[in-house]
A = this chain, B = another copy of it.
Amino acid sequence: METVTLGPTGTYSHRAASAVTDDGISFVESVRAIADAVANGDADRGVVPIENSIEGSVTETLDALAEVDLAVVREVVTPIRHALIAQSENFDTVASHSQALAQCRTYLDENYPDVDREPVASTARSVEIAREDPTVAGIAHPDNADGDLQLVASDIQDKSSNSTRFFVVAPPSERSEAGGKSSFVVYPNANYPGLLLELLEPFADRDINLSRVESRPSGERLGDYLFHIDVDAGLYEERTQAALEEIEALAENGWVRRLGSYDVEHVV
């Protein structure tokens, strides 16, 4: 079973993908390319970031899920762990993705105030550079310290509680109704005060907890929105189906997409 995610080797997306498959993993450079590969049948599974400031953005993933018909079959939560990786402690530049550099700012200010900081395309790219150039240290997950590279310091990120979340996506035919969480995209094709409230009431009326609500411009016209809704309930539950029927009535000029039900896996 082929899984596609954001490359190159060693990204946090690669780690999340490794946690859900023992088979082949291939890499592309954008969330949309992952969505297209799964939709076209070029891959069986895709792993996309939903809360991650380093690889891809929430925005890009929300738009891909609204535009490409896919099933969400699992959620993977993994902590952000940044390590300083180099051939030795004699480096004069620290390279990494700009967000990783920012997340390690306190450590770098205290320990390497005079070392240059250089933003590069990804944390994984910074490891490649450190492998080639003894004067450069990279910042990436500690598992990247192999071969000639050593772990200069671990867990150098500012906030230890930071975590990243990924969805595992599959073709729509593999959509499941089992699992404790469910995701939907709702396009009401309407805009009036209280609309979002009306869309959320059917869940509250049935004691279904909302774990995430995000709005995105539809791209159709200014002020026109899509809503991404995650709930702590499965599609197999009668109350979830009843809530969705009410929402479909509210969105009668638009559409409701059931992305699927799934369980959450925590990876260390």
The interface on chain A, measured as residues whose beta carbon lies within 8 A of the other chain's beta carbons, has a size of 54
A101 at interface, CB cutoff 8 A? yes
A215 at interface, CB cutoff 8 A? yes
Question: Which residue in B57, B119, B193, B225 is a CB contact (below 8 Å) of A59?
Answer: B57
Considering the chains assembled together, what is the distance between the CA atoms of A194 and B231 in angstroms?
Answer: 11
Q: Are A102 and B194 in contact (CB under 8 A)?
A: no
A42 at interface, CB cutoff 8 A? no
**In the assembled complex, which residues on chain B have CB atoms less than 8 Å from the CB atom of A200?**
196-197, 200
A191 at interface, CB cutoff 8 A? yes
Main secondary structure of the interface of A (DSSP, over half): mixed
Query: Given A29-B119, A59-B53, A99-B60, are A193 and B197 neighbors across the interface (CB < 8 Å)?
Result: no
> How far does the Cβ of A115 sit from chain B's closest Cβ, in whole Å?
14
Considering the chains assembled together, what is the distance between the CA atoms of A51 and B216 in angstroms?
Answer: 9
Query: Which of A31, A51, A102, A219 gathers the greatest number of chain B CB atoms within 10 Å?
Result: A102
A208 at interface, CB cutoff 8 A? yes
A211 at interface, CB cutoff 8 A? yes
Bitwise, A137-162 to B at CB < 8 A (1) or not (0) is 00000000000000000000001011
Instruction: Supply 8 A–B pairs (Cβ within 8 Å), ascending by A.
Output: A29-B98, A31-B102, A51-B216, A57-B59, A162-B219, A193-B203, A211-B223, A214-B215
